[in-house]
């Protein structure tokens, strides 16, 4: 069930796509969790806004617990907070993730997130995982514990070159650690249908047989307002063309689950 949104290139819309898909799941009555593994914490800021607190539980607290021994039982749910939106919960990010990474790697804690996801799956209908723009400990942990990954793609040559390496990395993790891992598809973000380059580039990806999903997410300044107000599009403007594209994409992913 867990879906990882992953790209090693920054600025391709991972957090935006993660939070908007999660918000649609929640708005449709599905009990939904977002896990923010990116130390930048964009998903956490997007979903919590002014409700974010310095003393709130975070995913860093979960990983710190993995490094310690305690007689007290601590559950993954202890690191989850509610958001202002019904059915939508969050395991927030923390800058401490960067400090913890080398300790977690040296202590071979790669499978701890997978164990936590197996427990969390009993309480949630959908789990979305936002990842840092790197193939590091946190991204590998997420891919090892997930059922599927979603790859955001913005239409430029650098993103295209990175895409092939990314697909190879996912295939390696599938072969070595998680045979059930699938690529649900490539999400074209900030698409400009009247520009020649995006049309040509996406057409070439499709011609190569890569799993490019439709609809493509259109470019819109409305998303900046969405970020500023900490309101995913389905709450900010349900009738907007970008919102409708997210809803349609969510439906496509639901269909993949059903299949």
Q: Who contacts 79 (Cβ-Cβ below 8 Å, separation ≥6)?
A: 57, 58, 59, 61, 62, 91
Asked if 3 and 147 count as a contact pair (C-beta separation under 8 A), the reply is yes
Q: pLDDT at position 71, please?
A: 67
* CB 176, CB 29: distance < 8 Å: no
176 by Cβ neighbours in 10 Å (0-12 / 13-18 / 19+) ranks as exposed
126-130, strands of its sheet edge to edge: 81-82, 88-91, 32-36, 126-130, 3-5, 148-154, 182-189
The pLDDT of residue 95: 95
State pLDDT tens for residues 35-82: 999 999 999 999 999 888 888 999 999 999 999 877 678 899 999 999
Rg of the chain (C-alpha set): 18
The pTM (predicted TM-score) of the whole model is 0.96
* Burial of residue 242 (number of CB atoms within 10 Å: 0-12, 13-18, 19+): buried
138 three-state secondary structure: helix
Tokens of 138: 């946190």
Cα(197)–Cα(230) distance, rounded to whole angstroms? Answer: 31
Q: What pLDDT is recorded for position 155?
A: 84
For 215, residues 6+ apart whose C-beta sits below 8 A from its C-beta are: 245, 248, 249
Instruction: Let me know: does 148 contact 3? Beta carbons within 8 Å.
Output: yes
Classified as helix, coil or strand, 63 is helix
Number of H helices, E strands in the chain: 11, 7
What residues in the chain have per-residue pLDDT under 70? 71
- Measured CA to CA, the distance from residue 80 to residue 34 in angstroms comes to 9
Non-local (6+) Cβ contacts of 89 within 8 A are 31, 32, 33, 34, 80, 81, 82, 83, 124
Q: How far is CA 177 from the centre of its chain?
A: 20
Phi and psi based region of residue 109 (left: phi greater than 0; alpha: psi -120 to 50; beta: remaining) = alpha
Three-state DSSP state, 128: strand
């Amino acid at each position: 069930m867990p879906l990882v949104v992953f790209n090693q290139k920054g600025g391709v819309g991972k957090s935006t796509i993660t939070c908007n898909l999660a918000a649609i799941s929640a708005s449709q009555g599905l009990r939904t969790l977002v896990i923010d593994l990116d130390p930048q914490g964009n998903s956490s800021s997007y979903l919590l806004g002014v409700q974010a607190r310095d003393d709130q539980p975070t995913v860093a607290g979960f990983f710190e617990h993995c490094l310690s021994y305690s007689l007290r039982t601590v559950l993954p749910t202890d690191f989850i907070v509610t958001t202002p939106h019904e059915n939508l919960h969050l395991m927030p990010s923390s800058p401490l993730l960067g400090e913890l990474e080398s300790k977690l790697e040296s202590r071979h804690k790669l499978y701890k997130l997978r164990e936590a996801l197996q427990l969390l799956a009993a309480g949630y209908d959908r789990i979305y995982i936002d990842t840092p723009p790197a193939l590091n400990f946190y991204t590998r942990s997420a891919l090892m514990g997930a059922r599927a990954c979603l790859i955001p793609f913005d239409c430029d040559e650098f993103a295209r070159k990175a895409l092939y390496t990314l697909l190879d990395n996912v295939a390696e993790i599938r072969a070595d650690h998680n045979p059930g891992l699938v690529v649900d598809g490539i999400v074209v973000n900030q698409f400009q249908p009247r520009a020649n380059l995006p049309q040509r580039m996406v057409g070439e990806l499709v011609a190569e047989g890569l799993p490019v999903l439709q609809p493509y997410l259109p470019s819109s300044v409305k998303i900046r307002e969405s970020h500023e107000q900490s309101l995913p599009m389905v709450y900010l403007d349900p009738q907007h063309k970008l919102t409708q594209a997210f809803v349609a994409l969510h439906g496509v992913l639901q269909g993949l689950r059903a299949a």
